[in-house]
């Protein structure tokens, strides 16, 4: 038995079996490539679930974290720390929002956003029976609050009852949203681009009409940008392409480019009428190490013109995926925004993903019949060509023409 096989066996004996992992142990990364413990090389078009925007082992990023480790890693939020002050200011500038709360993950950011909405409504009218409208086929995380607003019954059913006061409407169907609104509604929550639900961007007219309705009824619009944000869709945050501003937004994943960190942000109006000292907190959130990562990521995005690069390579990726869709009958649609793309098949994609892995390409699904493409944002045309060649080989080997 090989060393890696022994290690996998050990992991299966020690770790709680909540993931059906691929039988690979990744050892290190460099740029767009990952290497397993046996030395095999893989082109990474998954980026650790849209996390490694800068690719693997980016020197300036690594150096910034090493320098912070030598200074200070944690103090708690009883005190200020310089990286958090710098990161919050830079994140405000990049997002156009007014107030920042740093968390440890995207799910925690969702929890904070939900509490913000409930507290805002409580201050407004003194009631505690408010409702939140979320979208069918959405995904917001695995904690109880985040799960309660995730629009997939399969994820929720074994853990019910969820938190109360949640209704579901259909993405890009404004009438279905309006039908759920009552005097108890305190927030409408959606992903600007649905990720796990199949790579579905919000229609501009739909999002603008929701913004209008929320303004008319003093309902908070919460946009989840955990996966689609931080440059992935061709703007720092995808909603910035729609001509609207949310009341609250969540962000994580690429925000720290590998260091676990998230945040929820809000307008000044919401900040003044929602959470106060004692309402919300976190031990690790906003610690110096995590915020040093955020600060450096935001610096590198600006210095290296990352948004411009995403917009430069996006048409190349779209053209490559459209070419595959035209060529193979088993592909029925290509959709997405920026470097968050999906190919929808009329057959299961798991065998294709397995074939890609065997050939040295890391891809992931977004549902049983959708391939998801969320590569590091530093990809070049050569990487797209390499990906396309491997993917096409895998499609042919599994489903033929």
DSSP string computed for 131-184: EEEEEBT----SSHHHHHT-B-HHHHGGG-S--SSEEEE-TT-HHHHHTT--TT
The 10 Å Cβ neighbour count of residue 220 is: 25
Question: Using an 8 Å Cβ cutoff, are 263 and 105 in contact?
Answer: no
Q: What is the pLDDT of residues 242-282, one digit of tens each?
A: 999 999 999 999 999 999 999 999 999 999 999 999 999 99
Domains and CATH numbers, the chain: 3-57+305-399 (3.90.1150.10), 72-303 (3.40.640.10)
Q: Rounded to whole angstroms, how far apart are CA atoms 250 and 143?
A: 15
Residue-wise pLDDT tens digits, 87-139: 999 999 999 999 999 999 999 999 999 999 999 999 999 999 999 999 999 99
Give per-residue pLDDT as tens, 51-72.
999 999 999 999 999 999 999 9
pTM over 0.85: yes
What is the percent of the chain where pLDDT is above 70?
100
Contact, 258 vs 48, CB < 8 A? yes
């Amino acid at each position: 038995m090989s060393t890696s096989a022994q290690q996998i066996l050990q992991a299966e004996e020690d770790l709680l079996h909540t993931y059906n992992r691929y039988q690979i142990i990744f050892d290190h990364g460099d740029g767009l490539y990952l290497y397993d413990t046996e030395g095999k090389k893989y082109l990474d078009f998954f980026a650790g679930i849209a996390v490694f925007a800068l690719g693997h082992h980016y020197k300036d990023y690594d150096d910034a974290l090493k320098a912070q480790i030598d200074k200070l890693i944690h103090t708690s939020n009883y005190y200020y720390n310089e990286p958090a002050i710098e990161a919050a200011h830079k994140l405000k500038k990049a997002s156009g929002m007014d107030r920042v709360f740093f968390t440890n993950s995207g799910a925690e950011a969702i929890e904070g956003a939900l509490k913000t909405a409930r507290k805002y409504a409580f201050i407004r009218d003194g009631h505690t029976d408010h409702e939140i409208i979320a979208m069918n086929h959405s995904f917001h995380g695995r904690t109880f609050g985040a799960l309660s607003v995730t629009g997939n019954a399969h994820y929720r059913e074994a853990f019910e009852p969820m938190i109360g006061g949640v209704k579901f409407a259909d993405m890009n169907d404004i009438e279905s949203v309006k039908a759920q609104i009552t005097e108890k509604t305190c927030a409408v929550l959606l992903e600007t681009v649905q990720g796990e639900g199949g790579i579905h961007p919000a229609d501009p007219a739909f999002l603008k009409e929701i913004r209008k309705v929320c303004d008319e009824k003093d309902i908070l619009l919460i946009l989840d940008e955990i996966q689609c944000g931080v440059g992935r869709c061709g703007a720092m945050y995808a909603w910035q392409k729609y001509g609207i501003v949310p009341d609250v937004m969540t962000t994580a994943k690429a925000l720290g480019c590998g260091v676990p960190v998230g945040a929820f942000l809000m307008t000044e109006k919401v900040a003044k009428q929602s959470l106060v000292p004692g309402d919300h907190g976190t031990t690790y959130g906003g610690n110096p190490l995590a915020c040093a990562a955020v600060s450096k990521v935001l610096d590198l995005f600006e210095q290296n013109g990352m948004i411009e690069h995403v917009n430069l390579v996006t048409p190349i990726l779209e053209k490559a995926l459209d070419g595959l869709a035209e060529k193979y009958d088993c592909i029925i649609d290509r959709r997405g925004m920026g470097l968050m793309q999906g190919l929808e098949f009329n057959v299961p994609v798991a065998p294709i993903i397995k074939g890609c892995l065997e050939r040295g390409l890391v891809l992931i699904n977004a549902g049983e019949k959708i391939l998801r493409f969320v590569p590091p944002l530093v990809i070049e045309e050569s990487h797209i060509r390499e990906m396309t060649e491997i993917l096409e080989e895998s499609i042919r080997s599994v489903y033929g023409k």
